[in-house]
Amino acid sequence: MFALLAGGWGDLIVLGQEPERTSPSAVEALETALSQVVEQAEPSFCAVAVFDSTPEFPLRGDQNPFFPLLAGEPSAPIPARFGAGVVIGAIEETKEVLVLTCAHLLEPVLNASSTSVSSQIFLSFGPDRTDRATIHALDSRSDLAVLRAPSLQKHFASVQFGNQETFTSGTFVAVLGDPWGIVSESRCGSGLGTVSRVQTTFPRKSPSHPYDPLRSLGFWVRIDAKIAHGLSGGAVLNFQGELLGITTALPADIPGLKSPSLFALPCSSPMHNILEQLRAGYEVDYGFLGILPHFLLTGPPLFSAIQSNPDLGHHSPGVRIEKVSLNSPAERAGLCPHDVILQLNGKSVSEGLALQRDIALLGAGTEVTLDVDRAETQERLTLKARLGKWPAGAGMRIVSSVSRRPDWRGLSFEFPSARLEFDSDGFIPQVPHGVLIRGVQPGSLTARAGLKPGEFIVKVGEQPVETPEEFQEALQYWPRRVPVTLSDGREISIAPPETTRNQ
């Protein structure tokens, strides 16, 4: 017999008994609560579709590609991807709607390479409320994206993010699905489920899924709910109508995973920093410390380690460091191989994947406090580190429509670790000194001075710089001609704008 207590309703629902013994008042309260959540959240729910425009089936002007499907035309175009999204706000200046969805739904748009075929995104809030959308920000590392589109409703609803820190097994949630119901009737499907568990056991790597801070480290919430299988972009809500997660079909491609459960990408408070960056249109700056926890080793090193230590991977106090990246925030803070990290910002840690994920979610530039046990000297240390930026190598799909930092004299700059590649163990052996030159506008002052993308500025004048903030601060002392030193030793003087205009 299994019992669930419906908190705040004052009655106990006992499953497995005869129907007449179940409290009608508790069931009615549950039904009423679910109906209220659906009624409140339904206006924020929309369908997200990607259609291919080809010479045979071109998409013209303001054409609604769903009309032929609704009319049952046999030659109607079929979406290349079809899912859902939820309104999370609007851009005040343009009055455009911002919609949160899953990044993998938009892969046809990112992969478009043919000049004769283009992929276009459409949002639909109903049969007569459909329009094109563009990518506002996309982050393949979390599989989240934000779209923007003209306001399709006079009074669209915007959901709020839930403030809960963690998910508790057994918590009731409402799930909104059925994007086709929105397209055809302006009504979505709904389901009642419970949180089964937070899934953190899917670490994997392959050429198509390189190491990243969330997806490869496993960060899904498993939900037992009756909703369309494989739905991506659906909304998971608590009974206050707050958004707890976005449903995803992504775990379905994980080898060996066989589960009828629904999976969701969490939107709980640890994710708020990521969600707000996407809502602002930024590239997400994940935090990077520069360590390899011992059990994250893969292949033969891991096999040998397990043979010599059968308890490897079991939960134990602290996370032992196997490697420390040269010139990383970890090394600059004083961390060494074989140190054991006991606490992160006063919170105990015991599992390497969770530690990496917590660091990533704190964000680049954040100062963290680490309580460390150093066995070699039998010391208990408290170290402070300012996080760098989690590397986003060539395999990462990232889109941003807003620059986090304004360009300086035609030059855009980044954390030195921003575009590095992990090795086969998921490790960055060394972080370059200096600030990465991410881009240089043709014909700009910095381009004329000879600076090129991919180079590193290590000094402004005599001031060493290792982060974008240090670079910006150092520039304040050089309002006109600025001397910089590159990592290869070249010294370059960058002219002020006034000199260029006079020339």
Express each pLDDT in 253-275 by its tens digit: 544 445 556 788 888 888 899 99
Residue 403 has what pLDDT? 93
CB 272, CB 161: distance < 8 Å? yes
Largest CA distance in the chain: 91
Give every CB contact of residue 252 below 8 A, 6+ residues apart in sequence: 230
- Other CB atoms within a 10 A radius of the CB of residue 125 amount to 25
Give every CB contact of residue 460 below 8 A, 6+ residues apart in sequence: 471, 474, 475, 477, 478, 482, 483, 484
Backbone angles phi, psi at 306, to 5 degrees: -65, -40
Give every CB contact of residue 213 below 8 A, 6+ residues apart in sequence: 141, 142, 286, 356, 357, 360, 361, 390
Instruction: Show contacts of 400-404: CB within 8 Å, 24+ apart.
Output: 400/137, 400/281, 400/282, 400/283, 401/134, 401/135, 401/136, 401/137, 401/148, 401/281, 402/137, 402/280, 402/281, 402/282, 404/282, 404/283, 404/285
Burial class (CB in 10 A: 0-12, 13-18, 19+), 482: buried
CB 109, CB 135: distance < 8 Å? yes
Q: Taking all residues of the chain, what is their mean pLDDT, rounded to a whole number?
A: 82
Q: Is the pLDDT higher at 298 or at 421?
A: 421
Instruction: Give the chain's domains with CATH numbers.
Output: 1-281 (2.40.10.120), 287-389 (2.30.42.10), 405-502 (2.30.42.10)
- Residue 410 clears pLDDT 90, i.e. is over it: yes
- Residue 487 clears pLDDT 60, i.e. is over it: yes
- Other CB atoms within a 10 A radius of the CB of residue 33 amount to 18
- Return the structure tokens found at 63: 């054409």
Whose structure tokens read 């030059």? Answer: 411
Buried b (16+ CB within 10 A) or exposed e, 57-77: eebeeebbbbebbeeeeeeeb
Whose structure tokens read 């259609």? Answer: 51
Nearest Cα neighbor of 219 from 332, 353, 111, 384 is: 353
Transcribe 220-261 into DSSP letters.
Answer: EEEEEE-S-TT--S-EEE-TTS-EEEEEESGGGGSTT-----
- Return the structure tokens found at 180: 């086709």
Summarize pLDDT for 106-128 with one digit per residue, the tens.
Answer: 999 988 665 566 889 999 998 88
Nearest Cα neighbor of 117 from 167, 77, 164 is: 77
Residue 197 has what pLDDT? 67
**How many percent of the chain have pLDDT more than 70?**
79
**Separation between Cα atoms, residue 223 and residue 237, nearest integer Å:** 12
**Please, which pLDDT band fits residue 20 given cuts at 50, 70 and 90?**
low
**Please, which pLDDT band fits residue 298 given cuts at 50, 70 and 90?**
very low
Nearest Cα neighbor of 216 from 224, 227, 205 is: 205
Q: What does the pLDDT average to over 377-395?
A: 91
Residue 213 has what pLDDT? 64
| H/E segment holding residue 138 | strand 130-139
User: In this structure, which amino acid lies at residue 299?
Assistant: G
**Please, which pLDDT band fits residue 455 given cuts at 50, 70 and 90?**
very high
CA–CA distance from 448 to each of 316, 410, 438 (Å)? 56, 10, 16
**How many percent of the chain have pLDDT more than 90?**
48
Q: What does the pLDDT average to over 310-338?
A: 83
